[in-house]
Structure 1
Amino acid sequence: MLIDHSDEPLLRLLVNATRQAQLKGPALAEAHRDVGRQLARSVARHLVLEDFEIQHVTGRSTGVRLKAGAEPVILAVMLAGLFLAEGVWCLLPESSLLLHNDGTDLQGASMHGRPLIIVDSVINTGRSIRDVLSAVSVLQPASIAVVALVAYRANLQVLVDDFPDVFFHVARLSDHSYVGRGTTDTGARLFGTTNWGSER
């Protein structure tokens, strides 16, 4: 299921910051965290909470937390998904945060019965997310959500159709397919590698 936040005013403002060419390095990373924090609010609708006792300023009271044993696993698709994932993690601090590169072995990850949140900055062809979704299905998470800063509408719709049980939370949909290099690549701008030979 697609949950598109493209028309929400606050997310439009936050996403706009990530699109500005002059923003890079730590400032761009923080802009991604800001978007992640907002998308965490969307993802939280699908999480299970439980009551527990807290010490309130007036004495003992009842608070709320993520259900014990059902804390989410946040899987950041590296490299560019890291800071967006950190934003989600900031609002769901009882979660586990894992980093995923191509070829990462996820078999040792404890996802069974826990919600899984897969985070990638950009979904363009959809190949990376498709590969991760295929890899994690055998780990039997309780539910799967994908969080993305921007997604190419046509290819995202294919993913939504192919994975009907996955919630796709997207800050912005684009009608343009684009793969950046050097100064136009999101990961290179985030990590300060725009002038590296590998980016040319």
Structure 2
Amino acid sequence: MSVGKYLAIEFLSDIIGVEEYSIPHVLGYQTSGHQLYHENQTLIVAVMRAGEPMARGVWESFPKSSFLHVKSPEDVKPHHVQGKVTIILVDSVINSGKTVAEFLGRIQILHSTVRIVVVAGVVQAECISRRALTQKLRYGAKVTVVALRVSQNKYTGRGSTDTGNRLFNTTSLP
């Protein structure tokens, strides 16, 4: 969760922007507070399993946002994206970009004008350099990628070395 909070506060606030709103002061008068721009029209999408802890940290930073758990692009339904201004798609590791590109394509089909921000712990460098994340998108799509780090390593874990298994300590389920 800490990584999600860090990326949300340090980067997403600048990328998406913040807006002022009125909040009650302890002395009984109204004062100014700040929140994510259109926070209540923002959807945080956690790609399960590994994206959930980071997405939870993003949501804790922007609690007026909606939160959705998904395993596949088809899990994102029209009613989830209707009326949204921003969608924050969260996964822990992006290797080839194939999975995230499928989610981006699905979201764009459902809501062609929504702004999409992809948040990840690690993004493989080649994925960004060859624009794998945006190659499925139509002209004019607004996609930004925020990552804790970019990796030159092309290793993709399977089985007990999978990121989700390591994050949730579930290397040997019955």
Task: Give the alignment's TM-score, normalised by structure 2.
Answer: 0.83
Check if 1:168 corresponds to 2:168: no
C-alpha distance in 1 between matches for 2:148 and 2:39:
29
Structure 2: gaps of 5 or more residues = none
In the TM superposition, 1:1-200 aligns within 5 A as 33-41=1-9, 42-60=11-29, 61-67=31-37, 71-102=41-72, 103-140=74-111, 142-157=114-129, 158-159=131-132, 162=135, 165-196=142-173
| In structure 1, distance between residues paired with 2:109 and 2:32 | 37
**How much identity, in percent, do the aligned residues show?**
34
Change (3 A) 1:171 1:131: same
CA drift of 1:108 comes to: 2.6
Contact 1:124 1:152 in 2 (8 A): yes
CA contact (8 A) 2:19 2:37 kept: yes
Contact 1:80 1:120 in 2 (8 A): yes
Per the TM alignment, residue 95 of structure 1 is displaced from its structure 2 partner at its CA by: 0.6
**In structure 1, what residue type is equivalent to 2:151?**
S
CA RMSD of aligned residues (A): 2.3
| Aligned residues of 1:73 and 1:111 also touching (Cα < 8 A) | no
Provide the rounded CA distance (Å) in 2 between the counterparts of 1:38 and 1:116.
Answer: 18
Q: Which runs of 5+ in 1 are unaligned?
A: 1-32
- 1:159 corresponds to which letter in structure 2? A
- Count how many residue pairs are aligned between Structure 1 and Structure 2: 165
Q: CA deviation at 1:50?
A: 3.5
Superposition deviation, residue 143 in structure 1: 0.9
Distance (Å, rounded) in 2 between the aligned partners of 1:175 and 1:68: 35
Q: Which has the higher contact order (CA 8 A, sep 6+)?
A: 1
